[in-house]
Amino acid sequence: KLNADDKKRIAAVYDKMIESNMWRLETRKYVEKKMKVVALEQEYEHPAHSVIMDPTDPIWEKRFNAEELYELWNYIVPVIPELPAPLEQFMESFEGKETLDDLYYHIRSFRYHPVHESELHWMQLTVEEALMLLYHGYFEKNRTEADLIRHAWTFMDSCFDSSEYIVSNSGEKASKATSEAQNKDRPVGGDKSITRKKVGTKVDQLFATPLFELGAMEAGAESDRSSSKSITELHMKCPKTLKDMAVEMERYNPVQLRQIKTCGFIISGKQSK
């Protein structure tokens, strides 16, 4: 639960934003002013306390009408590129294959080079591994979060194996970006003792380059998006981690602020978002 000092700190953050620059909607309503009101109304932690807005959160329906929410939702929407033609053709080749055996023999008919055709090779292995799970009734047995990451969602990790720059690290990896955010006001000594450095938020999977972190994945064993764990990770933990990553990239690339993007994945059993 937030105390008075927490709310003073949150108000100060919004006041600084309001003084420097505000986003005005077509209806001439200022977004940050409305976000500040909502943030200070909440007694428990909410994304608005980290200056994060999810237009699908019902809480904003009291502050913005349908047209305004639509404008918020469509503001600088990230463009997701189309699949490369070879991958699209590969996927289309499965049309008409209805049984596991049909799919298995079809997928085994391809031979892609792991280096020269790395994307197709990765996709072929992904489909084949998924078929093995279905053949052996993998999801019919009780599985832990670690089981699902290691077997069902392993393609999220292996998709960057051939990348020259991006590395995927799994196993409760601590984010350097969140560590930087938490330690930015750490004293160096003098009238205060040096505090212990805070560890960054630990995520199930972290996607990074040698310079920056680009995204994260959180996973849960239950295929229930309404569970407390799924809600917390989808609306709190993952967005806050991605925001810290974006802020860290903005520090070094301020002129490219509008082009900076991060990517997060929430896995709930056999579902993803």
Q: Each residue's pLDDT tens digit in the chain (273 positions)?
A: 899 999 999 999 999 989 888 889 999 999 999 999 999 999 999 999 999 999 989 999 999 999 999 999 998 888 888 999 999 999 999 999 999 999 999 999 999 999 999 999 999 999 999 999 999 999 888 888 888 888 888 898 899 999 999 999 886 667 777 666 666 655 555 555 555 556 567 888 999 999 999 999 988 877 666 677 777 888 889 999 999 999 999 988 888 888 888 999 988 888 888
Sign of the torsion formed by the C-alpha atoms of 197, 200, 201 and 203: negative
pTM for this entry: 0.80
Q: From CA 3, how far away is CA 139, in angstroms rounded?
A: 44
Going by C-beta distance under 8 Å and a sequence separation of 6 or more, which residues neighbour residue 120? 86, 87, 90, 110, 112
